[in-house]
């Protein structure tokens, strides 16, 4: 039985020689090969040196042949490492020619990827023996490295317009026959303000506000609407428990006073309606996870499990600053930056919109104009940089004339401010907020204010 150390890495010396010889013989193939390969794709070190020299000479505009490449290598003190002029001449004499150089380049590329897969496998093996890492961390890192390898497979260095448009058209065809590219929020004016008329798949949407302005209420309203439209939702609640989230959903769905649901003091006349509301909620494809130590790696695994059963339409994370994760030796800004990038990767890899709730810093409270701006995002500029969409909440009813907070029980209007939209314009809309049943709705005649 052969051990791992007995196995030879994937490589073909004759094929590598054939490609280099073709490049020395016929300069027309140099760009073709350079688009398909990089020097690390060659296994033999002398071939890496020769390939880099050929590209360097080619970029100067000189004719590429054994002599010009040898002179370049000699100037750099590498001619001996490359095998000398004799080896360069041998490459030109023994090459099968340039006719099949595309096929030879593919073989070299595949061998290089196989070698990287072998390295990947060894890393995964090493990580599995590292008891300082959690299972979720190991699986998340292994998956990220595998995705990186998959993205390299057959990836050319550049594409012409015909190829790009063709791929885009294929995407359009897939959209027509598979999942819609956008998930409606169920709030028409909010959908109208967003570039795709809803939450775009693979987008990271940040919803930020000061405490008690309705972040969780709006997120739950959207989650409920998406679930009613028969798209699965996974709601990660870091601070609120499952019973607390459930009470809010019951109040919201049935327009009950939330206090009466929490205190179990529903009027007798409303009990039958309560039963109907609970029954209808039980049929919705909405999962709530309430672990306080939730990391993006754990979230990814939960979403993957749900997607194995049915397509997921929305992931909600409530909220960013309460999450676990990030490097242990980092400060808060660095930790948040890592988590935000991981949340964006979750959206992209799972092809699902991720609604990430976020706190604003206290500077908002000290200003006369308390409408949030991007610089109010707490802890780090990474949130603004990474997010595809940034939404803020603001309500006049939340603040008194002297700047003190004023809480009301009657319905009010809350502004949803789109401060960033990567592929669209900014704007503002107003939604009706009902504090008693912690629910957002579309007000009569609401529209986006460019």
Question: Which residue in 355, 368, 298, 10 sits closest to 140, CA to CA?
Answer: 298
3-state secondary structure of 412: strand
Active site residue 239: yes
Question: Which residue in 361, 425, 413, 339 sits closest to 389, CA to CA?
Answer: 425
Annotate 242-258 with DSSP letters as a single string: HHHHHHHHHHHHHT--H
Catalytic residue among 31, 230, 239, 365: 239
Cα–Cα distance, 317 to 253 (Å, whole number): 21
Cα–Cα distance, 317 to 299 (Å, whole number): 9
Query: CA–CA distance from 423 to each of 137, 181, 387, 445 (Å)?
Result: 33, 14, 12, 26
Q: Report which DSSP code applies to 379.
A: S
Cα–Cα distance, 413 to 432 (Å, whole number): 5
Strands 286-289 and 232-237, bridge-based pairing = parallel
434 beta partners: 439
Strand ranges inside 8-101, DSSP E: none
Would the CA dihedral through 132, 344, 182, 206 be positive or negative? positive
3-state secondary structure of 291: coil
- CB-based contact 355:317 (threshold 8 Å): yes
CA angle 352/394/225 to nearest 5° reads 35
* Residues belonging to the active site: 239
């Amino acid at each position: 039985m052969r051990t791992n150390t007995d196995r030879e890495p994937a490589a073909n010396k004759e094929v590598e020689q054939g490609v280099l010889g073709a490049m020395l013989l016929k300069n027309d193939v140099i760009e073709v090969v350079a688009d398909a390969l990089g020097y690390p794709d060659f296994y033999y070190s002398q071939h890496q040196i020769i390939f880099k020299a050929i590209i360097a000479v080619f970029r100067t505009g000189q004719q590429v042949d054994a002599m010009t490449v040898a002179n370049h290598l000699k100037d750099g003190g590498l001619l001996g490492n490359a095998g000398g002029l004799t080896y360069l001449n041998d490459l030109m004499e023994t090459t099968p020619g340039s006719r099949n150089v595309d096929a030879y380049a593919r073989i070299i590329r595949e061998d290089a990827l196989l070698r990287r897969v072998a390295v990947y496998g060894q890393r995964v093996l090493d990580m599995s023996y590292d008891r300082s890492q959690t299972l979720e961390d190991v699986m998340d890192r292994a998956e990220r490295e595998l995705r990186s390898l998959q993205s390299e497979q057959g990836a050319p260095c550049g594409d012409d317009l015909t190829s790009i448009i063709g791929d885009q058209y294929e995407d359009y065809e897939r959209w027509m026959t598979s999942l819609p590219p956008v998930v409606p929020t169920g709030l028409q004016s909010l959908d109208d303000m967003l570039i795709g008329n809803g939450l775009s798949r693979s987008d990271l949407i940040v919803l930020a506000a000061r405490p008690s302005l309705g972040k969780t209420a709006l997120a739950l309203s959207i989650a409920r609407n998406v679930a009613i439209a028969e798209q699965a939702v996974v709601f990660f609640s870091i601070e609120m428990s499952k019973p607390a989230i459930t009470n809010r959903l019951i109040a919201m769905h049935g327009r009950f006073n939330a206090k009466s649901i929490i205190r179990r003091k529903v009027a007798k006349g409303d009990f039958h309606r309560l039963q109907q509301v609970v029954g209808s909620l039980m049929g919705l494809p909405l999962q709530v996870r309430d672990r306080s130590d939730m990391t993006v790696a754990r979230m990814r695994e939960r979403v993957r499990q749900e997607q194995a059963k049915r397509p997921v339409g929305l992931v909600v994370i409530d909220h960013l600053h309460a999450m676990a994760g990030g490097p242990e030796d980092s400060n808060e800004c660095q930790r948040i930056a890592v988590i935000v990038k991981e949340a964006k990767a979750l959206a992209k890899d799972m092809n699902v919109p991720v609604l990430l709730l976020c706190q604003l810093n206290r500077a908002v409270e000290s200003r006369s104009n308390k409408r949030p701006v991007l610089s109010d995002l707490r802890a780090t500029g990474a949130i603004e940089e990474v997010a595809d969409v940034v939404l803020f909440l603001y309500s006049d009813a939340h603040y008194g004339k002297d700047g003190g907070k004023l809480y009301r029980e009657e319905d009010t209007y809350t502004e949803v401010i789109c401060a960033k939209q990567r592929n669209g314009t900014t704007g503002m809309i107003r939604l009706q907020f009902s504090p008693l049943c912690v629910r957002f709705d579309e007000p009569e005649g609401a529209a986006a204010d460019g």
